[in-house]
Amino acid sequence: MIFFLKLFLAHLIGDFLLQPTTWVVDKDSKKIKSKYLYLHVLVHFGITMVLLWDISYWGIALLIAIAHYLIDLVKLYATPLFKHANIPFFIDQLLHVLVLYAFAFYGTFWEQTLLLAERIDLGLLVAVVFVSFPAGIIMGKLLEPMAGQIELDHESLPNAGKYIGIIERIFVLIFIVLGKWEAIGLLITAKSVFRFNDLKESNNRKLTEYILIGTLLSFGMAIVTGLIYENF
C-alpha cells in the first residue's frame, strides 16, 4: 500500500502542483505537438523516481510515464467530442489511478482488489447513496404541492439547491457516524446565516416556510438514515 501511495502522491504533485495553466492551455491547442505534453510526462517520471528513491524501479516509473502520456494524448483528442469537458477530465484521472494501482499490485492484483472489496462497509455505502439523489427525489415529491406556490424573484445557479442538499445530508450522515452531533448544529447555523439575507430581501413568507420545511426534511432524512445505519 505504501508503494501505491507514493505513486499516487507523485501523480498528484505532477498533475496538479507542477502543471501550470499555461501548459494545459498549450496542450489543449497544440495537442501532440505541444512541448509541454512531453515536459509534463518527464516531470511525472522524475517525481516518481524521487519518491520511490530506488533506481531499480526505473522500469516501472518509465512504463507509468508512457501510460500517462498515452492517456493524456487520448484525452486531448477526445475532449472536443464531449459536451461537458469535465467528463473526460474525470475519466482521465480515473485511468491514471487505475494504472498506478495495477503497477503497485501487479503481483497480487486480484488478491488486493478482493481484500479492498471485503473492507467496504455496504451498510454505509447504502446510506450514502440513499441520502444523495434518492433522498432528494423523495423530498421533491413531498414538496411538490408547495413548490407551485413559490414565486422566485432572483436567479440561481442551475440545480444548486439539489447539490447543496446532497452535500449537507452527506455531511450530516458523516457527523452521525463519527458521533459528532454538535457539528450538525453548526451546519444548521451556517446554512441559516447564508440563507438569512436571501429571505430578508425577498420578504416572502411562503418562500421562508418552504425553505424551512425543506431544510428540516433534508436534515431529518439524513439523521434517520444515520440512526438506522448505527443500529443496523
What's the CA dihedral at 87, 93, 97, 102 to 10 degrees?
70
Cα–Cα distances (Å) from 62 to 30, 52, 100, 126, 210, in that order, read: 24, 13, 12, 40, 58
Give residue-wise pLDDT tens across range 71-122.
999 999 999 999 887 899 999 999 999 999 999 998 888 898 898 889 999 9
**What pTM, to 2 d.p., does this model score?**
0.80
Give residue-wise pLDDT tens across range 35-46.
999 999 999 999
pLDDT number for residue 189: 84
